[in-house]
Chain A
Amino acid sequence: MEQPWSGIRVVEIGDGVAVSCAGKQFADFGADVVKVERLGGGEVRRLPPFPGDRPHRDRGGFHLSLNSGKRSLALDVCTPSGREVIGRLASGAQLAFVELPPAAAGAVLDALRRAQAAPSVVVMSPHGLDGPYRDRRENDLSVFAWTTRLHRHRLEGEPPLRYAPHVVAMQVGLTAAAAAAGAVWGQLHDGARRDAEVSAVEALAGNVDTSFVAWSLSGGAPSVPRRSRGTYPVGTYRCKDGYVQLTAGDSPFFERACRAIDRPDFIDDPRFLTKEVRPAHHEEFLAVFQPWLDARTKGEVFRAMQSERVLCTPILDISEALADAQSVARGSYVAVDQPGVGTMTLAGPPFRLGGVEGDRWSAGPAPCLGEHGGEILDGLGYSRDEQQALFRAGVTG
C-alpha cells in the first residue's frame, strides 16, 4: 500500500521512549524507519510490562507499541566503525532522529552531517545540546519537575503529582516528529537540509498546560480545576458504578446541567441565579445532585449530560476505554500479530486521512533486536566478509 511517507527513509538512533515515539509517527504512515539500537537493547525494550512478567527484550509493551513497523539494526555507534555505518545509512535517508547522551551524540551528529546528501537531523535531549545543564541526566519525573506542570498538578497538603507515567517522553517524541515533518517537507521543496533540536524541558514548558504564561502576563497561576463550593458542578463526582467528570460551573453549562438533572427550576432559583450567590448554596445543590448521580451509572450520566450539551465524561479504565461504544464503532484500537507474543492491542491512528474509513495508517509488528541487520548492511553495500568482520569486532549484534 502506498502511504504518505512511502519512499522516505528515516534513521532513528537511540533507545529511549521519545525517539521511538518520534520514529513511529513516520513508520505507521509508510516511511522506511531503520532503528539503530545498542547491542544489548536499550530503554524502550527494557521497560515493563512484559507478557507473564518475564523480561524479554523483544516483548516489552513499549517496544511493541512504539517500534511498530520499523527495521532494527543493532550497532555500537560509539566506535568509528559504527559511525561509518551511520554515515552510509544517512546517505540514503531524508531524516534522522537522534536521542543519545550528549557525550555520544556529538560524534554521531558529525557522522550524519558528513554524509553525502545528508538528511535533516532532529536531536532530542533533556536540556538541549548546550548550556550548563547539557550533560544532566533526567527522567520522566525530573523533566516534568522543570516545566511547572508537576508544581501545579496537586491537591492541597499533598506533594506535587505527575501525570500518567512516561507521557513526558511521549510528548517530547511527538514534538520531535512535528519539527521533523516540517524539516523534511522543507528539504524536499527547497533543497535546504534542516537541523532541529528538541530540549525536553523546552518542549513541555513552551507548550500549553504550563502556568508560566499566565503567571508572566497576569501575575497569577491557574490552579487545576477541582470540586469547590465556589464554582459547581465542576470536577469528579461519584455515581452508581464509578465516577464522572464534568465542567458546568459557568453559563450556559450550569443551566444545561440543571435541565439534564430534571431541575430546570434551578435555573431561575434565586439561590443559583448568579455566580455570586451560588457558593452559599453548594450543599443544597449537592443534596439534589448526588442522589441523582447515585441512581445512575456513569454511562447514563454521560449520555444524560451530553444530551443537554454539558461537558461531561465518564472516568474509564483502559479495559473500559477499549470496550466503549465509540472506540468499537471507530476501531480506535487495533490488533497486531506480534511474533513470539501473539495478538497485541495497540492504539490506532492518531488521525485519519480520508475520514474514518481512511486507510493510510498501519501498524506492523515490532522487530526483534537486530532482526534486519543483514538486509540493511547488504543494502548499504557491505560484503558478507565485511559484515562478519563488523560482527566479530562487536560493532553489530
Chain B
Amino acid sequence: MTGRALAGVRVIELSEVWAGPVGGSLLGDLGADVIKVESFPRFSPTRPIDPNDWRVAPGEGPAYEHSWAQHQGNRNKRNMAINLRHEAGTAAFRRLLERADVVIDSFSAGTMEKLGFDWERMHRDAPRLIRLSLPGWGLSGPYQGYVSFGGGFDCVTGHTAVRGYPWRGVEETSPITHSDATVPLHIVFAVVTALRERERTGEGMLVDLSQVEELATQIPGVLAEWSLNGRLPVRVGNGEQHVVPHQCYRASGEDRWVVLAAEDDAQWGALARAVGHPEWAEDGHPWATVVGRLRDREAVDAALSERAGGQQAEALADRVQDEGGIAAPVAGPQEMLLSPQLNARGWFPTIDHPYTGPRIQAGFLWRFAPDPPSWDLPCGLVGEYNRELLREHGYDDAEIDRLEANGAIGYSYG
C-alpha cells in the first residue's frame, strides 16, 4: 500500500493534461484518496481516440486507454467519468463534494460557475470543503478566463526571454512546459497548507493558484537583477557569466554530448587531470585561476571542445567525476534507462496495465519512510470506479444503471 501521510484526506481532481493530474498523483503517492473525475462524453486532450495519434502506445483496446500522455500523469487515483452538463451527473458530483476535503479544478476562471459550481454555493453546501482552482491567470484580474498553456506561462513570466542560444534570435525559442512540472509540486504544498488552515479556522476555503504566478516564483535571479540593478539579464545559453568552463560539449558518436563545469579551482584541477592536462591547473598557468579562466573563456572552451570531441560521453564524465569534478553525459531516454545510478536504486518500476501490458515507467519523485510510495493503481480506465464510488456515496445499483442509461456517467468514448 502506498504512503499513509495523507491517509484520510479525500481529494477530487477535476483537471486535464499535466499540472492538475500530476498534482493529483503526487497526493495519491502520499496516501490521499484521490478521485479523478474525467470529462464525459467529451474526451480529455490526453486521451486521443485516433489510434494513429503519435501519443498512443502499442496495446490492446481503445486508443484512449493507452496514450502515454494519459499514463504519465495519472497513477494512484480512482477514475470516474461524469457528464457535468447532465443534471443527474451534476447531482452525483455534488454528492462527491459533500464527502471530499479538497476539490482541484484546472478550468479557466468562470467555467466551474457555468457548470453551476460557484464558490458561494459550494461553500454553503459543504463548509469544510477546500477548492483549489488553478486557472492559468488566476481567478481575478483583467486576464481571468483567458485560455492558457504551459508554454505560454514560460513566455509571460520572463523565462523565455532568458533561455535560448545567445547567438540565435528570440524567434527561434521553442516553447517548453516547465510550469507543468512545478505547479504540481505547489499543488501538493497548497493542499496541505490549506488543510492546516482549515484545522485552524474550522472552515474550508477557496485557493487561487495562478499558474503564471506560480512560475514567476521560479527565477529569483532574473527578478533580482532587475530589482537590484535595473538590468535585464543577458541570455547565456548553457554558460554562466561567472563560471568557466560551464558548457555542453560535443563528444564522440552521433549527436552525443557531455556537460563539463568547474565552479572553483579544485574542480578545475579535477577536470584538467581527467582530460590529460594537469598542467592547466598548476600555479602560474593562466587557466589555473578563476579570473584567468574567466578572461580566457573562449580559449578554455575551445581546448575542452577539442579534448571532449574524441571521447565517449559517459567515459569522460566518469573520469572527471572520479577526479572530483563536475560532468555528466547528456542523456536521452535510452541513456537514462541505462544509468547505473538509477538502476542501482531500483528506480524504474515495471507497471502492468490491462491495455498496454507491462511497461517500464519513470519512478517516484521521492523516497519516503516508513511508508514509501507504491504504484497501487496504474492509470485508470474511463469510468473504472464509477460503480464503486457511487456505491460509496449512497447510490444503489439500479440508480447507477439509470445514470449510465441516461448518459450521466460513462465507460467509453467515441
What residues of chain A have their CB less than 8 Å away from a CB belonging to chain B? 2, 4-5, 25, 29, 47-53, 59-62, 64-66, 127-128, 130-133, 136-139, 141-148, 150-153, 155, 158-167, 170-171, 174-179, 181-187, 189-190, 192, 194-199, 201-222, 224-226, 235-238, 242-245, 247, 306, 309-322, 324-327, 329-330, 332-333, 341, 344-356, 358, 360
* Chain A CB within 8 A of B275 CB: no
Is A175 touching B366 in the complex (CB atoms < 8 A)? yes
Knowing that A315-B173, A321-B157 are A-B contacts, what are 17 other residue pairs whose CB atoms are under 8 Å apart, sorted by A's residue number?
A60-B224, A62-B220, A145-B331, A146-B331, A167-B218, A183-B5, A202-B342, A203-B365, A213-B72, A213-B362, A236-B175, A238-B171, A316-B155, A320-B158, A345-B226, A350-B213, A350-B217
Interchain CB contact (< 8 A) of B185 among A29, A131, A174, A197: A174
- Cα–Cα, bound, A245→B150 (Å): 11
Which residue of chain B lies nearest to A210 when distances are taken between CB atoms in the complex? B362
Is A218 touching B54 in the complex (CB atoms < 8 A)? yes
Which residue of chain A lies nearest to B188 when distances are taken between CB atoms in the complex? A178
- Cα–Cα, bound, A143→B327 (Å): 9
**CB contact under 8 A between A214 and B55, given known A66-B220, A150-B259, A177-B185:** yes
- Cα–Cα, bound, A295→B316 (Å): 52
Is A148 touching B71 in the complex (CB atoms < 8 A)? no
Query: What are 17 A-B pairs with beta-carbon distances under 8 A?
Result: A29-B193, A51-B229, A61-B221, A131-B340, A139-B261, A155-B168, A164-B218, A165-B221, A165-B236, A186-B5, A202-B342, A203-B366, A217-B66, A306-B147, A322-B223, A345-B227, A356-B140
Is B361 touching A213 in the complex (CB atoms < 8 A)? yes
Is B151 touching A225 in the complex (CB atoms < 8 A)? yes
Secondary structure call for the A interface: mixed
- Cα–Cα, bound, A143→B326 (Å): 10
* Chain A CB within 8 A of B381 CB: no
Is A356 touching B139 in the complex (CB atoms < 8 A)? yes
Is B220 touching A207 in the complex (CB atoms < 8 A)? no
Is A50 touching B228 in the complex (CB atoms < 8 A)? yes
Which residue of chain A lies nearest to B173 when distances are taken between CB atoms in the complex? A236
- Residues from chain A with a CB closer than 8 A to the CB of B222 are 164, 318
- Cα–Cα, bound, A241→B192 (Å): 43
- Cα–Cα, bound, A213→B141 (Å): 37
Interchain CB contact (< 8 A) of B330 among A160, A194, A314: A160
Which residue of chain A lies nearest to B72 when distances are taken between CB atoms in the complex? A213
- Residues from chain A with a CB closer than 8 A to the CB of B165 are 155, 158, 161
Question: How many Å from the CB of A161 to the closest CB on chain B?
Answer: 6
Spot the interface stretch: B242-250, B288-296, B383-391, B401-409: B242-250
Is B162 touching A164 in the complex (CB atoms < 8 A)? yes
Candidate in A177, A324, A347 with the most chain B CB atoms within 10 angstroms: A347
- Residues from chain A with a CB closer than 8 A to the CB of B175 are 224-226, 235-236, 245, 247
Question: Among residues 352 to 367 in chain B, which have CB atoms less than 8 Å away from a CB atom of chain A?
Answer: 356, 359-367
Which residue of chain B lies nearest to A150 when distances are taken between CB atoms in the complex? B330
- Cα–Cα, bound, A210→B333 (Å): 8
Is A146 touching B185 in the complex (CB atoms < 8 A)? no
- Rank and list the top 10 A-B pairs by shortest CB-CB distance, nearest first: A61-B224, A186-B5, A65-B220, A313-B152, A215-B333, A181-B192, A217-B68, A318-B158, A178-B188, A142-B328
Spot the interface stretch: B78-86, B204-212, B277-285: B204-212
Question: How many Å from the CB of B246 to the closest CB on chain A?
Answer: 6
Is A209 touching B181 in the complex (CB atoms < 8 A)? yes
Question: How many Å from the CB of B13 to the closest CB on chain A?
Answer: 15
Is B207 touching A4 in the complex (CB atoms < 8 A)? no
Which residue of chain A lies nearest to B138 when distances are taken between CB atoms in the complex? A330
Is A310 touching B147 in the complex (CB atoms < 8 A)? yes
- Residues from chain A with a CB closer than 8 A to the CB of B160 are 245, 315
- Residues from chain A with a CB closer than 8 A to the CB of B238 are 141, 159-162
Spot the interface stretch: B34-42, B90-98, B195-203, B392-400: B195-203
Q: How many residue pairs between the two chains, A and B, have CB atoms under 8 Å in the bound complex? A: 496
* Chain A CB within 8 A of B57 CB: yes
- Residues from chain A with a CB closer than 8 A to the CB of B410 are none
Is A179 touching B221 in the complex (CB atoms < 8 A)? no
**CB contact under 8 A between A161 and B163, given known A355-B140, A355-B206, A360-B197:** yes
Question: How many Å from the CB of B71 to the closest CB on chain A?
Answer: 6
* Chain A CB within 8 A of B298 CB: no
Interface bin, chain B: 35 or more
* Chain A CB within 8 A of B18 CB: yes
Is A218 touching B208 in the complex (CB atoms < 8 A)? no
Is B171 touching A354 in the complex (CB atoms < 8 A)? no
- Cα–Cα, bound, A182→B325 (Å): 35
Annotate B109-132 by CB proximity to A: 1 below 8 A, 0 otherwise. 000000000000000000000001
Which residue of chain A lies nearest to B147 when distances are taken between CB atoms in the complex? A309
- Residues from chain B with a CB closer than 8 A to the CB of A322 are 223, 226
Interchain CB contact (< 8 A) of A318 among B178, B232, B347: B232
**CB contact under 8 A between A245 and B220, given known A185-B192, A212-B337:** no
Which residue of chain B lies nearest to A50 when distances are taken between CB atoms in the complex? B228
- Cα–Cα, bound, A348→B209 (Å): 12
- Residues from chain A with a CB closer than 8 A to the CB of B205 are 353-355, 358
- Residues from chain A with a CB closer than 8 A to the CB of B155 are 244-245, 313-316
Which residue of chain A lies nearest to B55 when distances are taken between CB atoms in the complex? A218
Question: How many Å from the CB of B263 to the closest CB on chain A?
Answer: 6
**CB contact under 8 A between A206 and B365, given known A61-B221, A211-B333:** yes
- Cα–Cα, bound, A390→B371 (Å): 39
- Cα–Cα, bound, A138→B229 (Å): 29
**CB contact under 8 A between A344 and B345, given known A167-B219, A212-B333:** no
- Residues from chain A with a CB closer than 8 A to the CB of B208 are 351-352, 355-356, 358
- Residues from chain A with a CB closer than 8 A to the CB of B182 are 170-171, 174
Is A171 touching B216 in the complex (CB atoms < 8 A)? no
- Residues from chain B with a CB closer than 8 A to the CB of A138 are 326, 328
- Residues from chain A with a CB closer than 8 A to the CB of B345 are 128, 130-131, 199, 202
Is A159 touching B257 in the complex (CB atoms < 8 A)? yes
Interchain CB contact (< 8 A) of A4 among B159, B197, B224, B231: B197
**CB contact under 8 A between A171 and B185, given known A49-B229, A185-B195:** yes
- Cα–Cα, bound, A179→B27 (Å): 10
**CB contact under 8 A between A208 and B72, given known A166-B219, A196-B368, A333-B216:** yes
Question: Among residues 366 to 385 in chain B, which have CB atoms less than 8 Å away from a CB atom of chain A?
Answer: 366-371
- Cα–Cα, bound, A299→B392 (Å): 50
Question: Among residues 1 to 20 in chain B, which have CB atoms less than 8 Å away from a CB atom of chain A?
Answer: 3-8, 18
- Cα–Cα, bound, A295→B162 (Å): 26
Is A318 touching B176 in the complex (CB atoms < 8 A)? no
- Residues from chain A with a CB closer than 8 A to the CB of B250 are 159
Is A316 touching B176 in the complex (CB atoms < 8 A)? no
Is B68 touching A213 in the complex (CB atoms < 8 A)? yes
Question: How many Å from the CB of B202 to the closest CB on chain A?
Answer: 13
Is A52 touching B229 in the complex (CB atoms < 8 A)? yes
- Cα–Cα, bound, A331→B146 (Å): 18
- Cα–Cα, bound, A48→B222 (Å): 10
Is B190 touching A218 in the complex (CB atoms < 8 A)? no
Question: How many Å from the CB of A232 to the closest CB on chain B?
Answer: 14
